[in-house]
Structure 1
Amino acid sequence: MRFVQFKENEKGDEIQLGIERRDGGEIIQIEGTMQELIEGGIEMVTSLKKQLDSDPSASDLKVLQRSKVSLVSPITNPSKIIGIGLNYKDGAAELGKAEPKSPIVFLKLPLTISGTGSMLPLPNSITRQVDWEVELAVVIGKRAKNVDEADALDYVFGYTVGIDYTARDIIATNGGLWTLAKNFPGFSSLGPAIVTKDEIIPFNLKLETRVNGAIKQQGNTSNMIFGIQELISYVSKHIELLPGDVILTGTPAGLGVAKNPPEFVQVGDKIECSVAGIGTIVNTATVARETKS
């Protein structure tokens, strides 16, 4: 099933939960929140599916046309976002890096989350080298600590698309560390939907980035250095994972920083990142407003 969060265009900022009948299709409004759904696990998903299958045209269903709603990130309040660096063979190669012997893990703040259709505010007073990174994002379904690889997929609720925006010049001026470069507002774009794990085989999915219509990245999850099970197991042995947490699993070759000459996101650019079977996130770059508080 495909679960989304959305706002009705004529009803303000209330975030609602829905089932998307297909990518880009009508949305069936359902009660509760995404966090409650994730914590309810497979039993709640199965119950919803049975209800829809038994009477898909029930008169009490509230069905919304896509023109009437705006999607937001399907996850808005995880306890944490886990990032994985240098996890594609071609991605490491184009940067001239050796393949890591164990996963490279970093953290992103939930305040960086945005969704499809959102503007990407470029902090141009601090950086001029914002890069794109399309990623398969794993949504954790239940508490995970010291998980064995063989059991790791049992802890997955579903998958979504992620864009891990990165300010390359800040990495260079911050001792090679990634935290400051990856935690500006809007730098963790997620969406358009969470597709439950029963509908996705995550080991052979195509990923793609387009900027202003031009293909920049094309890759496949089969090219990961560390697979989904390895990542969940490894991270859970160091950091306890909670329902709703997100793991960004790395990005393939095609980074702007690796091009000759290097390319970076500019004001007005339209960034589209896709993962097969899930959908596409679209962000448009704008200038960040500098505010003090």
Structure 2
Amino acid sequence: MKFCTFRQQGEEQVGLVSADEQTVFALKELDASITKMEELIENYSSLKEKLEKQADQLTPIPIDRVELLAPIPQPKHDLLCVGLNYRLHALESAKFAGREYQAPKHPVYFSKRVNRAVGPNGTIQAHGDVTEKLDYEVELAVIIGKKCSKLSPDEVFDAIFGYTVGNDVSARDIQSAYGQFMFGKGLDDFAPLGPWIVTKDELSQPPHLNLKTYVNGELRQDSNTSDLIFDLPYMISELSQGMTLEPGDILLTGTPAGVGMGFQPPKFLQAGDEVICEIEGIGQLKNTIS
């Protein structure tokens, strides 16, 4: 199933997206207590059967008549992120930083501040007053489905609700100047997510999905999640050893090669640019730099 958050007539709602992605059904018709995505995730096991039996009784709304928002517009916690998790991206990052590449022994974890996530077709503020090196990063975003800790790798997929597309927008000059990721990746609008969440049963375990990024129609990133250095069971199990994960928590799993800083000369984003991040089996996340 695919679930979205949308706005219609000023009201934010949670919706079920039709298989052909042309229609959305407001879940408040099925259960009035489901007002935000986290509530759906927490109650999904009990709602799933009702959805399967009664979805055809809900009122269809053409998807082009609603405004799609980020699936989780205001995450309860900062996003959990993993850097340098595709080998070729780690190589291009080392080259940009002027250092020798060394294969990581451990994942590079960091958090990404997000006041409100940008949704599909939303705008990303360029922050031209503080950065001149704005960059994109397509990433598979994992949505945690239940409260859990100290998971074994074999238990990880049972704890996942689903997946969406993320764009880990980054200010490379701030990253370089401060020597850490938090500030350069945590500016307002730097967490686009969408267009919806695809439940885990729709994809293979682990998901082997093609990822692509287009900037103004030019293909920049083109890879597959099978190239992750550290896979989902490893990362989520490791994080859960010391962190309690909760329904609606989001993990960005890393980006492949082809980011703007990897080109010679670099191809950083400018106001007016259109960025499309696409993941096979999930959809496209399209945003404009403003």
Same fold (TM over 0.5): yes
Deviation at 1:48, TM superposition (A): 1.1
What do residues 151-206 of structure 1 show as CA deviations (whole Å, max 9, x unaligned)?
111110000000000000001111x1011001111101100010000001243100
CA deviations over 1:209-247 (Å, ceiling 9, x no partner): 000000000010000001111111011113221110000
2:18 is aligned with what amino acid? Answer: R
Partner of 2:261: 257
Aligned to 1:290: none
What is the letter of the counterpart of residue 5 of structure 1?
T
Distance apart, 1:251 and its partner CA: 0.3
Whole-angstrom distance in 2 between the partners of 1:89 and 1:212: 26
- The question of whether the paired residues in 2 share the 8 Å contact of 1:37 and 1:45 is answered with no
CA distance in 1, matches of 2:160, 2:227: 20
Q: Distance in 2 between matches of 1:207 and 1:265?
A: 19
Long gaps (5+) in structure 2: 29-33, 95-100
1:23 to partner: Cα distance: 5.6
Q: For the Cα contact (< 8 Å) 1:99–1:225, is it kept in 2?
A: no
Match of 1:24 in 2: 21
Asked if the contact 2:75–2:116 (Cα under 8 Å) also holds between the matched residues in 1, the reply is no
Shift of 1:77: 2.8
| Pair 46,104 (structure 1): closer, same or farther in 2 beyond 3 Å | farther
Residue from 171, 189, 192 that aligns with 2:195:
192
Q: What amino acid is the match of 1:4?
A: C
Aligned counterpart in structure 2 of residue 230 of structure 1, from 227, 230, 234 = 234
Distance change in 2, residues 1:104/1:261 (3 Å) = same
Give the aligned residue type for 1:43.
Answer: S
Q: Which residue of 2 aligns with 1:141?
A: 145
Task: State the match for 1:289 in structure 2.
Answer: none
Say which of 106, 120, 124 aligns to 2:128.
Answer: 124
Determine which of 161, 178, 181 is the counterpart of 1:178: 181
1:266 is the counterpart of 2:262? no
Partner Cα separation in structure 2 for residue 35 and residue 23 of structure 1: 24
Separation in 2 of the partners of 1:87 and 1:179? 17
Residue of structure 2 in register with 1:90 after alignment: 88
Q: Residue 225 of structure 1 aligns to which amino acid in structure 2? A: I
- Among candidates 33, 37, 47, match of residue 34 of structure 1: 37
Report the equivalent of 1:169.
173
Letter in 1 for 2:46: E
1:67-78 alignment to 2 at 5 Å?
Answer: 67-78=64-75
**Structural RMSD (CA):** 1.3
The more displaced of 148-157 and 20-29 is 20-29
Contact kept? 1:207, 1:218, Cα under 8 Å = yes
The residue type paired with residue 217 of structure 2 is G
For residues 105 and 65 of structure 1, what CA distance do their matches in structure 2 show?
Answer: 40
1:135-165 deviations in Å (ceiling 9; x for gaps): 0000000112111111111110000000000
- Are residues 1:244 and 2:248 paired? yes
Query: What are the equivalent positions in structure 2 for 1:213-224 lying under 5 Å apart?
Result: 213-224=217-228
TM-score by length of 1: 0.91
Give yes or no for contact 1:207–1:221 (8 Å, CA) kept in 2.
Answer: yes
CA distance in 2, matches of 1:180, 1:208: 25
Q: Please report the TM-score for the alignment, with normalisation by the length of structure 2.
A: 0.92
Distance 2:252 2:243 in 1: 15
Structure 1 gap segments, 5+ residues each: 287-293
CA contact (8 A) 2:114 2:188 kept: no
* Aligned-partner SS, 2:237: helix
Give aligned-pair identity as a percent: 39
Q: Retained in 2: the 8 A contact 1:79–1:110?
A: no
> How far 1:44 sits from its partner (Å)?
1.9
**Residue 260 of structure 2 contacts residue 266 of structure 2 at CA under 8 Å; is this kept in 1?**
yes
